[in-house]
């Protein structure tokens, strides 16, 4: 089985984000890491590979910083890693990014399954995986919390998807695009051997030419969305009004009165 995991790099989730007067976003001294959601996708790919045989290729569209994500995925155990980039790809929205990723996947051989994290913690659009699925004409199985069955020879998969009201069980043919969510597994830590392997590994760069992508379908030219302004939200003023009374009964009754006055109960 050939499994492809799509990943990206993001600032650490604890990073203090700021933006300057001209709209440049900064994450201070925080490191760039693999998008935390993608670790679930990598873990699932490795588990499936070990069970069904085959290989896992991790790919990322991004400048050199994207190597952070690829290296982490390789250190976890992925077999191959490919970075796709061209300066023309800058300012790509999800429409353009999904075009590049779909072209890259099309240029590979015998891909059975494509895995994504449920979203990326930077832009949090939750859009790229579904867009890639639609471009490839494959079923999109987002928010998967359990792969209940997978038949590599019969080319079929059964997953449980997490929706608002509960879990939907869906079966489909392969290839398919699966968006993983937390709860599907517990991502492994990288081992010392894994980190050494990742450090020695080669990370071939593929250009638009290599994957057969057209330059006017990537970057700003290939995007529908522009984001002319990024700004910090206004800070909430003050701290909580601490409710204190002689007894806990009095305290809670004051709180109930406050909530009634706020008209929220």
Partner 1 sequence: MSNDIFVWVEQFKGQVTGASWEAIGTARGLADGTGGSVVACVFGGEGVEPLAQEAIAYGADKVLLAEDETLADFRVEPQAALLAKAAREGEAAVVLIGATFRGRDLAPALAVELDTGCIADCVTLELEDDQLVATRPIYAGKLLSKCIIPERRPQIFTTRVRAFPKPEPDSARSGEVVEVEPALAEEDIASKVTGFNETEGGVSLADASIIVSGGRGVGGPEGFEPVQKLAQTLNAAMGASRAAVDAGWIPYDHQVGQTGKTVSPDLYIACGISGAIQHQAGMRTSKVIVAINKDPDAPIFKLAHYGIVNDLFKVVPPLTEALKEKLG
From candidates 21, 22, 233, 246, binder to partner 1 by CB under 8 A: 233
Return the closest-CA partner of residue 62 out of 132, 7, 5: 7
Which range, of 17-25, 57-65, 192-200, 206-214, touches partner 1 by CB under 8 A?
17-25
Q: What is the DSSP string of 147-192?
A: EEEEETTTTEEEEEEEETTEEEEEEEESSEEEEE-TTS--PPPPPH
Report CA torsion sign: 7, 8, 9, 12.
negative
Candidates 57-65, 72-80, 107-115, 164-172; binding stretch for partner 1 (CB under 8 A):
164-172
Of 15 and 78, which has the nearer Cβ to partner 1? 15
- 47-55, 82-90, 123-131, 195-203 -> range binding partner 1 (CB under 8 A): 123-131
Q: Does 17 bind partner 1 (CB under 8 A)?
A: yes
Applying CB under 8 A, which of residues 47, 91, 107, 127 lies at the interface with partner 1? 127
Q: Are strands 176-180 and 140-151 parallel, antiparallel or unpaired?
A: parallel
Write out the H or E segment, with its range, that includes residue 234.
none
Residue 129: partners with Cβ closer than 8 Å, 6 or more residues away: 6, 116, 118, 140, 142, 177, 179
In terms of Cβ atoms closer than 10 Å to its own Cβ (0-12, 13-18, 19+), residue 244 is exposed
Per DSSP, 127 falls in state -
Token pair of 108, please? 């590979």
Number of residues that bind partner 1 (CB under 8 A): 84
Which residue in the set 2, 150, 164, 187 belongs to the binding site for partner 1 (CB under 8 A)?
Answer: 164
Is 22 a binder of partner 1 (CB under 8 A)? no
Token digits of residue 21: 């007067």
Considering the rule CB under 8 A, would residue 155 count as an interface residue with partner 1?
Answer: no
Q: Does residue 221 touch partner 1 according to CB under 8 A?
A: no
Q: Which is nearer to partner 1, 41 or 56 (CB)?
A: 41
Segment lying near partner 1 (by CB under 8 A), choices 67-75, 187-195, 206-214, 218-226: 218-226
Told to check if 32 binds partner 1 by CB under 8 A, we report no
- Nearest 5°: phi and psi at 114? -120, 125
Q: Is 19 an interacting residue with respect to partner 1 (CB under 8 A)?
A: yes
| Contact pick of 65, 124, 151, 214 for partner 1 (by CB under 8 A) | 124
- The alpha carbon dihedral of 110, 195, 42, 117 has a sign of negative
Cα distance between residue 1 and residue 153, in whole Å: 9
Told to check if 227 binds partner 1 by CB under 8 A, we report yes
* Site mask for partner 1 (CB under 8 A), range 102-121, x = bound: -------------------x
């Amino acid at each position: 089985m050939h499994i492809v995991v799509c990943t990206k790099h993001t600032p650490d989730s604890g990073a203090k984000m700021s933006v300057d007067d001209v709209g440049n976003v900064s994450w201070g001294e925080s490191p760039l890491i693999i998008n935390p959601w993608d670790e679930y996708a990598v873990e699932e790919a490795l588990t499936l590979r070990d069970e069904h045989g085959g290989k896992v290729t991790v790919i990322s569209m991004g400048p050199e910083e994207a190597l952070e994500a690829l290296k982490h995925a390789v250190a976890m155990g992925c077999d191959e890693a490919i970075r796709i980039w061209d300066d023309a790809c800058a300012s790509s929205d999800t429409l353009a990014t999904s075009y590049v990723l779909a072209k890259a996947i099309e240029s590979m051989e015998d891909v059975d399954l494509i895995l994504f994290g449920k979203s990326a913690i930077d832009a949090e659009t939750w859009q790229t995986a579904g867009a890639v699925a639609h471009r490839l004409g494959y079923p999109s199985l987002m928010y998967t919390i359990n792969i209940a069955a997978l038949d590599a020879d019969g080319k079929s998969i059964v997953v449980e998807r997490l929706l608002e009201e509960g879990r939907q069980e869906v079966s489909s043919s392969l290839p398919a695009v699966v968006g993983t969510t937390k709860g599907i597994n517990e991502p492994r830590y990288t081992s010392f051997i894994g980190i050494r392997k990742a450090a020695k590994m080669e990370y071939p760069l593929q250009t638009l030419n290599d994957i057969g992508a057209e330059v006017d379908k990537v970057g700003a030219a290939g995007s529908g969305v522009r984001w002319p302004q990024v700004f910090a939200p206004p800070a909430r003023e003050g701290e909580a009004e601490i409710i204190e009374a002689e007894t806990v009964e009095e305290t809670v009754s004051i709180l109930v009165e406050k909530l009634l006055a706020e008209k929220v109960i």
